[in-house]
Amino acid sequence: MTEKSRLCRAALASLKPHTLSPEWREPRIGIVHLGIGNFHRAHEAVYTEEAMLAAGGEWGICGVTLQGDVAKRDALMAQDGLYSVVERGPDGVRVTVIRALKEVLAMPHDRARLFALLADENVRIVSLTVTEKGYCRDTTTGDVDLRHEGITRDLANPDAPSTVPGILAAAFRQRRDAGTPPFTVLSCDNLSHNGAALKQAVVSFARARDAALADWIESHVAFPSTMVDRIVPSTTDADREAASHALKVEDAAPVPCEPFRQWVIGDRFPAGRPAWETAGAQLVDDVMPFEIAKLRMLNGTHSTLAYLSMLAGFVTIDEAIAHAPLKKLIHAMMTQEIAPTLDVPPSFDVLAYRDALLARYANAALKHRTAQIAMDGSQKIPPRLLATIEARLNAGRSIERLALAVAAWLVFLRGCADDGTRYEISDPMAARLTASIADEPAQLVEAMLAINEVFPPGLARRDDFRRPLQAAVVRLQDGARAAIEHYAALA
């Protein structure tokens, strides 16, 4: 591939129709983002570029892959950090080149450069999309998991950390010792109270080694919470072809996404922030009502669709929701079981939100794979489904459809679809989960409910949870499609 044929900053003059604005001033790096995956590049990076175009500021982004992914780093840096967002909607495909990403690093190879940036007073925000497992938390206490292999290693080698809590604690030690004001830590993961959860993990990590540093972080560092939303599938060859066709140059790292996007942010940034509100983000005092609505309505039903689909043989979300009984089931689940648990501002129309979600699921241009959504269920099930179930039970309400969703995950863990197709279980607890699998429904439920890291003991002991869960597992023995038909027909 020649230099002229590759997406790069030298080619931007010919790509102005495919940028957010023909005007652009190269900013300094002001944000370091840990976890430079597709979601960040289709979400925060786009908001940040739009904010700089509207209101200026030195908010260029350095993205960091924590998994040693030099291929991703090299592909993006060969393009000077540029990449395209391939937005697929009912009206067609729109390809936009994003310029906010200035540099990409790969840990542990670029540790020295990362810590130089984390010590730089011009870096005022460190944001993250590392998924729930990246927080290395003990899910029972919320503190950092001191048994986690990476945490043990980082505590023994604090100057060469590899985990998120270890990296942040080391960076704050640098800034405290140098007298440099701390950066704000901005979690953009799908995790309840994500800012508070990350703060607890980082502070508890620091306290295990340096109580004074833990106290300094606790009193000086802001960890605002956020709620993020945009469906961003894995990149396919079709996305690369769409980008190449539109741009007339090769993009090795395009990102597909839906047109919809949402970002609700707790407005606490002592060191400053981009004017994200100019790009449509909502800056609020309390993120929690929006966060819970999204976790339960969108993420909860997304997981439900994923596990039922993996059993029933639906490959993508649009294919799943096109199955009339499954759409009816999800509609009823949102309307009758999830929406009544929400406490949202009067301006938030829950039923309109439901309808928007169903329309997004039906976006046939996106091809969001159910296998992708089904990953890491042990981390996702508690906030997405179990919290809603507990709220329903505490109100004396039924949970049949929600119980089916959890039952589908349990049966999914057998690693075999209804037609006999085998698939891998991608989960940080995969070994333990699969070791607890049983063929007989009652034994399966008993074994899985005993895993306290997923199922809180108080909930696991409740008969009003166990009974409908076991009934749903029994229903699934006759096939997911038959179970879907049964639960869709419930009044």
Mean pLDDT for the chain? 96
State whether 280 and 257 are in the same domain. yes
What are residue 376's phi and psi, to 5 degrees? 60, 40
State whether 13 and 99 are in the same domain. yes
State whether 73 and 165 are in the same domain. yes
Containing structural domain, residue 210: 3-284
Q: How confident is the model at residue 139 (pLDDT cuts 50, 70, 90)?
A: confident
How much is the pLDDT for 375?
96
State whether 147 and 252 are in the same domain. yes
State whether 212 and 309 are in the same domain. no
Residue 376's Cβ-count burial label (10 Å; 0-12, 13-18, 19+) is middle
Q: How confident is the model at residue 1 (pLDDT cuts 50, 70, 90)?
A: very low
How much is the pLDDT for 2?
46
Q: Does the pLDDT value for residue 255 go beyond 50?
A: yes
CA 236 vs. chain centroid, Å, equals 19
State whether 342 and 470 are in the same domain. yes
Question: Whole-structure pTM over 0.75, yes or no?
Answer: yes
Q: What is the CATH number of the domain that holds 428?
A: 1.10.1040.10
State whether 335 and 228 are in the same domain. no
| Long-range contacts (CB closer than 8 Å, 24 or more residues apart) made by 449-457 | 451/378, 452/140, 453/139, 453/140, 453/378, 453/429, 454/139, 454/378, 454/381, 454/382, 454/429, 455/382, 455/386, 456/382, 456/386, 456/390
User: Domain total for the chain?
Assistant: 2
Measured CA to CA, the distance from residue 467 to residue 447 in angstroms comes to: 15
Express each pLDDT in 19-44 by its tens digit.
Answer: 999 999 999 999 999 999 999 999 99
State whether 151 and 41 are in the same domain. yes
Average pLDDT over residues 49-73: 96
| β 262-266/226-229 pair status | antiparallel
How much is the pLDDT for 289?
94
How much is the pLDDT for 275?
98
Pull the structure tokens for residue 84. 């395209």
Express each pLDDT in 323-357 by its tens digit.
Answer: 999 999 999 999 999 999 999 988 889 999 999 99
Average pLDDT over residues 10-16: 94
Average pLDDT over residues 140-169: 96
Provide, rounded to the nearest whole percent, the portion of the chain with pLDDT above 70: 99
State whether 441 and 411 are in the same domain. yes
Q: In this structure, are residues 402 and 333 in contact, taking their beta carbons and an 8 Å threshold?
A: yes
Q: What is the CATH number of the domain that holds 96?
A: 3.40.50.720
Domain end marker among 269, 284, 299: 284
State whether 292 and 368 are in the same domain. yes
Bridge partners, residue 101, by sequence:
61
State whether 321 and 456 are in the same domain. yes
Q: How confident is the model at residue 171 (pLDDT cuts 50, 70, 90)?
A: very high
| β 60-65/101-106 pair status | parallel
Average pLDDT over residues 49-61: 98
Domain end marker among 231, 265, 284: 284
Domain end marker among 256, 284, 312: 284
Q: How confident is the model at residue 154 (pLDDT cuts 50, 70, 90)?
A: very high
Buried b (16+ CB within 10 A) or exposed e, 454-472: bbbeebbebebbbebbbbb
How much is the pLDDT for 491?
75
How much is the pLDDT for 90?
86
Average pLDDT over residues 195-223: 97
Average pLDDT over residues 210-228: 97
Q: How confident is the model at residue 64 (pLDDT cuts 50, 70, 90)?
A: very high
State whether 242 and 346 are in the same domain. no
